[in-house]
Structure 1
Amino acid sequence: MPALRVSELRSPAGHLVEGVLGDVLHRAARQGPDDLLLSTPATGGTWTAAQLLADARAVAAGLLADRAPGARIATCLGNGPAAVLLQLGVALAGMTLVPVNPRSRPAELEHALRLSGAVRVFAAEDVAGNPVADLCAGVDGVEVVRVGADWRAALPEAAPGELPVVDPGSLAQVQFTSGTTGRAKGVRITHRAMVLTGHAFADRLGPTAGRVWCNPMPLFHTAGNVLGVVGALWARAEHVVLPFAPGPVLEALADRRVTMLSAAPTLLDLLAAQGPPELPDLRVLFTGGMTVTPAFVDRVEQVFGARLSITFGMTETCGSVLLTAPTDPDPVRRETVGAPLAGTEVRIAGPDGAVVPPGTPGELWVRGERITDGYLDDPAATAAAIDADGWLHTGDLAEMDAGGACRVVGRLKDMIKTGGENVSPVEVEEVLAEHPDVARAAVVGVPDERWGELVVAFVVPAGGRDPRPDELTEHCRERLSPFKVPRSWRVVDELPMTASAKVQRAELRRIATAAP
Structure 2
Amino acid sequence: MPSTVERCELIAPPAADLAEHAVGDVLRRAARLGGGDPLLRVPGPAGDAVWTAAELLADAERVATGLLARHAPGTRIATCLANGPEAVLLQLGVALAGMVLVPVNPRSSAPELEHALALSGAASVHAAVEVAGSQVAETAAAVARRLPHEVLVHPCAGDWRALLAGGGDRPSGLPDVDPGSLAQIQFTSGTTGRAKGVRITHSGMVATSAAFVARIGLPSGGVWIDPMPLFHTAGNVLGVMGALWQRAEHVVVAFEPARVLALVAQRHATLLSAAPTLLDLLMDRPEIGTSDLSSLRVVFTGGQTVRPSFVDRVEQTFGAPLITTFGMTETCGSALLPSPGDPAEVRRTTVGRPLAGTDVRIAGPDGDPVAPGEPGELWLRGPRLTPGYHDDPAATAAAIDPEGWLHTGDLAVMDPTGACRMVGRLKDMIKTGGENVSPEEVEEVLAGHPSVARAAVVGAPSERWGELVVAFVVPAAQPGIDAAGIDPAQLEQHCRSRLSPFKVPRSWRVVDQLPMTASTKIQRAELRRMAAADPAPASGRPS
The TM-score with structure 1 as length reference comes to 0.97
SS at match of 1:490: strand
Identity across matched positions, percent: 69
Deviation digits for residues 56-101 of structure 1 (CA, Å, limit 9, x no counterpart) = 0111111111211101100000000000000000000000000001
Residue in structure 1 matched with residue 301 of structure 2 by the alignment: 287
Mapping of 1:265-414 within 5 angstroms? Answer: 265-275=276-286, 276=289, 277-414=291-428
Residue in structure 2 matched with residue 41 of structure 1 by the alignment: 43
Mapping of 1:6-405 within 5 angstroms? Answer: 6-12=7-13, 13-42=15-44, 44-138=48-142, 139-140=144-145, 141-159=150-168, 160-207=171-218, 211-275=222-286, 276=289, 277-405=291-419
Match for 1:377: what amino acid?
Answer: D
Q: Could you tell me whether the CA contact under 8 Å between 1:209 and 1:283 is conserved in 2? A: no
Q: 147-156 vs 85-94, which deviates more?
A: 147-156
Aligned alpha-carbon RMSD (Å): 1.4
Match for 1:461: what amino acid?
Answer: P
Mapping of 1:418-433 within 5 angstroms? Answer: 418-433=432-447
Is 1:440 the equivalent of 2:454? yes
| Distance in structure 1 (CA, Å) of the matches to 2:104 and 2:224 | 23
Residue 87 to residue 208, structure 1, CA distance change in 2 (3 Å): closer
**In the TM superposition, what is the alpha-carbon distance from 1:210 to its structure 2 partner?**
7.0
Q: Could you tell me whether the CA contact under 8 Å between 2:228 and 2:275 is conserved in 1? A: yes
Is 1:490 the equivalent of 2:498? no
| Distance in structure 2 (CA, Å) of the matches to 1:421 and 1:157 | 64
Structure 1: any 5+ residue segments left out of the alignment?
Answer: none
Residue 209 to residue 9, structure 1, CA distance change in 2 (3 Å): farther
SS at match of 2:250: strand
* Number of residue pairs aligned between Structure 1 and Structure 2: 516
The TM-score with structure 2 as length reference comes to 0.93
Residue in structure 2 matched with residue 2 of structure 1 by the alignment: 3
Deviation digits for residues 209-245 of structure 1 (CA, Å, limit 9, x no counterpart) = 9701111111001111011111111111100001111
| Distance in structure 2 (CA, Å) of the matches to 1:220 and 1:23 | 21
| Distance in structure 1 (CA, Å) of the matches to 2:520 and 2:164 | 29
| Distance in structure 1 (CA, Å) of the matches to 2:198 and 2:106 | 18
Q: 497-506 vs 148-157, which deviates more?
A: 148-157
Residue 14 to residue 436, structure 1, CA distance change in 2 (3 Å): farther
| Distance in structure 1 (CA, Å) of the matches to 2:43 and 2:507 | 45
Q: Could you tell me whether the CA contact under 8 Å between 1:120 and 1:142 is conserved in 2? A: yes
Residue 157 to residue 323, structure 1, CA distance change in 2 (3 Å): farther
Q: 157-166 vs 31-40, which deviates more?
A: 157-166
Q: 228-237 vs 146-155, which deviates more?
A: 146-155
Q: Could you tell me whether the CA contact under 8 Å between 2:63 and 2:163 is conserved in 1? A: no
Is 1:468 the equivalent of 2:472? no
Deviation digits for residues 357-399 of structure 1 (CA, Å, limit 9, x no counterpart) = 1111011110001111111011011111111111111111111
SS at match of 1:270: helix
Could you list the structure 1 runs, at least 4 aligned residues long, displaced by more than 3 angstroms after superposition: 154-157, 207-210
| Distance in structure 1 (CA, Å) of the matches to 2:512 and 2:158 | 33
| Distance in structure 2 (CA, Å) of the matches to 1:6 and 1:236 | 39
Deviation digits for residues 242-274 of structure 1 (CA, Å, limit 9, x no counterpart) = 111112212222222211111000000000000
Match for 2:515: what amino acid?
Answer: P
Deviation digits for residues 401-436 of structure 1 (CA, Å, limit 9, x no counterpart) = 110100110111100001110000111111122223
* Selected match of 1:503 from 507, 522, 526: 522
| Distance in structure 1 (CA, Å) of the matches to 2:230 and 2:442 | 33
Q: Could you tell me whether the CA contact under 8 Å between 1:209 and 1:260 is conserved in 2? A: no
Match for 1:248: what amino acid?
Answer: R
| Distance in structure 2 (CA, Å) of the matches to 1:320 and 1:460 | 29
| Distance in structure 1 (CA, Å) of the matches to 2:449 and 2:464 | 30
| Distance in structure 1 (CA, Å) of the matches to 2:511 and 2:157 | 36
